[in-house]
Copies of this chain bind each other. A is one copy, B any other.
Amino acid sequence: MNPLDAARRMVRDALGEGEICGTCGSRVAGLCRPLDAATLDDVLAEAEHVVFGARDYLFQEGDRAGHVFTLVHGTAKLVRLLPDGREQVLGFRFTGDVLGYTTGGTYPFAAQLLTGATVCRLDRHRLDALMRRYPSLERRFLDLCIQELAATQDQLVTVGRRTAEARLAAFLLSLAESGHRRHIDGPVLDMPMTRADIADFLGLTLETVSRGFTAFRRRGWIREPSHGRVEILRRDELTELTDGEPG
């Protein structure tokens, strides 16, 4: 069995049989999802699967932008570094999400894996050629970009105008939302990021995030059945906290 077929088998095993895009990964999102069969076949032929370990970087800030990635399985954070070494997490990406597309020559942020992951990697030059052939692919990227922009604007509102607990509530609700997008509708959510990651995402310190989780737990709003998992018990309370008065 050649390496590509091996990777495809791995993907099927990870996701279960079904309407899987063999190359670009997810049953629900991914790059190829809305493409027609002909386009899809050509994109498939150009892509390759790669397995990474936890904490590996898919790319660093400033690297030459040579590939576009689809997360077949795993979670990553997008981070921008500050001159003094602190970092701002721009967002988290989950199974099925697309990362690293830019029209510039270098990546404007780094992508670091939080878990081990399988990614589908497509060379930029090949992608550009495909886009010239299939304009629908370009349209697909425009849609993705507009979605990312809207999400980043949401985050700007959260960080700019909400209290610590309201930010945390917004984060938990967005976790649930992104699980929902991936048709993972069980009550218990995967939360592979550390308190420090969440703090760097919300513009807080890890201590403040930890106190927030403790407060929510004490009030019975959430439960943490194990490390790396949360269950939201009182969505209504969390929603009211994000939407309500600044206090």
Contacts and interface: CB of A to CB of B under 8 A. Distances in A.
Interface in A73-103: 80, 82-84, 86, 88, 90, 101-103
A80 B157 contact: yes
A192 B141 CA distance: 35
Contacts of A237: none
A52 to B, nearest CB: 23
The secondary-structure label for the interface of chain A is: helix
Interface in A125-184: 135, 138-139, 141-143, 145-146, 148-150, 152-153, 155-157, 159-161
Contacts of A138: 135, 138-139, 142
Given A148-B149, A149-B148, A245-B84, A159 B103 contact: no
Contacts of A80: 153, 157
A228 interface: no
Interface centre among A88, A152, A160, A202 (most CB of B within 10 A): A160
